[in-house]
Structures are given as C-alpha cells and as structure tokens.
Amino acid sequence: VDIEGTGSSSKVIARLPSGESVEVLLFGATVTSWKSNGGTTENLWLSEKAALDGSKAVRGGIPVVFPVFGPPPKSGHVTSSLPQHGFARTSRWEFLGKSAAEDAAGSNSVKLDFGLSSSELTEEARKAWPLDFALVYSVTLSKESLMTVVNVRNEGQQSFEFQFLLHTYLRIQDISKVAINGLLGVAYTDKVLNATEHKQSDSSVKITGEVDRVYASIPQDTTSVVEDGKPRFDVVRDNLKDTVVWNPWIEKAKAMGDFAPDEDYKHMVCVEVGAVNGWQTLDKGDVFEGGQTIKSLL
C-alpha cells in the first residue's frame, strides 16, 4: 500500500501481487480507479476533467453519498441545509489502515479502511448537520472484485435519519451495446419524466437517451451489466435495497463543466446502490452497515 500526494490530493493505492489495483482519494474516500485482470482492465470511469484536488466532488469513480441523496427536502428536515448528495463526497477522510486477507480459494485480498466523524467535518458541514456520527468505509480489493461497505454509527443522544448511496461510475465500451438486468418487475421513479412512478416491464434496461431512475425495494440481490451479449459486471447489494441507474446522455454531459470528454457518456453508466427510498432511522448508539460487491466478469 502506497500513499501518494499531500493535503487534499492524497490518495491510497493498493496492489495485489497479481497486479490488480485500487486507488482511493482521501477527499470523499472516493475510489478513483479499480483495475482487474492483472491490472490491465480499468473498471471505473473517471472524467478527464474530474477535480482531484479537493475543490469539488469527483466526477467519476465511486463518490460516497451521505447523509442525503439528491437535493435535500427544501425545509423542515435535518438534511435541509445540506448540498445535493450531502457532505461525505466532499469531506476529507482519514486513512485508518489496511489489512490483508486470503479468500477460500487462496487468493489474496487487501482491505483499506477510511473514517469520517462529526469532529472532522468542516465548520460549514458541521453547522448544516449538527449530529454526532462516525462513518467507517471499507474498500476491499480481491482478484476479480471490489467490495465497498459503509458502517454508520449514531454517536449522539437522539435518533437521526439519513440516506446513503454509492455513486459508482462503471466504465463500458459502448453504451448502445449495454443491457442492465436484474430489475424486472421493480417499481422506479423516473427523474427524467418529472419523478413519475413506473414498473420495469422489460427484463433488460437499455440506454438510448438520458436515464435517471431510482429503482426501489429491489428483491433481487444482483444487478448485472451485460455488454455486447457478454456479462461485464455483477453489482451485488448488501443490506441496501435501492439502485439508481443514471446516464446524462448528450446534452447533460455537455452541460456539466467537469464531464469530459463530452462524448464519454457513451463509455459510462452509473449503477448506484443505496438506501434512498425514504429514510433510514438510526437510534442513538446504533449502527447501520450496507455496501456492494462489484464483480468484473471480463
């Protein structure tokens, strides 16, 4: 494990003896690269114009969304003063250390732990969310998978409500050949169509225009990304019931100053597991744990 850079640009890089690697920026505990196949296949999309100096949330990789997904309720909620997607993706996390493990098949894996608690927030974030909490985020690199799990602890004297989501930007070759499976029969909110409610009636989601959908209470554990008829990724939910599917398409991609190149909407799709349908309530002293395992199937 190497630590590179200083201040807000610091990142932790871990490599397996077989060549696979992961890079995590301390800013946001954002995973910015995950390479499998001996280190030859990059699995995550990262914008060429992503800010990697702590000046804004990273456009790409796996930003951590907490304690609110999307714009918060306009008033009257504990998250109402927060920016879109909360503060976790724009806070500097602490690197807590690494541990090595061997899986059943005798393959190595390495786990990196990151922490963020109320006392480490900027004054601005602390003001907007004056609650006592501690987050531990664990990123485990194995030969063919990446597991990212968050642990939220309520360290205050009252219960609080939150949402959580892993805003994963998957790298793909060609969006026109992608199908997303495992959502059949699931109800979703279509944010492109004025937040209207629908039910997934095709077994595959195909992306031929802007897509921004919140699939809720999914009974299946796995959402699969198939490219050109071949399995590409399995995204396995752990204690998280919802998944957002997002692709900005042509106009929105162009309109985002940090999305580059413009044409790269063809090379990414966000499959974002989370708990975003309503709120999770966490009583004082309680812990919530949820995350994902992404398998690269190339």
Rule CB under 6 A: choose which of 162, 246, 249, 265 binds ligand BG6. Answer: 246
- What's the CA angle centered on 26, arms 39 and 222, to 5 degrees? 55
Rule CB under 6 A: choose which of 11, 35, 153, 167 binds ligand BG6. Answer: 167
Contacts of 187 (CB under 8 A, 6+ apart): 197, 198, 199, 200, 215, 216, 217
Residues 70-129 that bind ligand BG6 (CB under 6 A): 70, 84-85
20 as an active site residue: the answer is no
Smaller CB separation from ligand BG6, 3 or 255: 255
169 sits near ligand BG6 (criterion: CB under 6 A): no
Residues 173-202 that bind ligand BG6 (CB under 6 A): 191
Q: Kindly report the number of other CB atoms within 10 A of residue 91's CB atom.
A: 20
Site string for ligand BG6, 39-78 (x = CB under 6 A): ------------------x------------x--------
272 sits near ligand BG6 (criterion: CB under 6 A): yes
Smaller CB separation from ligand BG6, 86 or 182: 86
Smaller CB separation from ligand BG6, 113 or 272: 272
Q: What are the catalytic residues?
A: 167, 272
Where along the sequence are the contacts to ligand BG6 (CB under 6 A)? Answer: 57, 70, 84-85, 167, 191, 212, 244, 246, 272
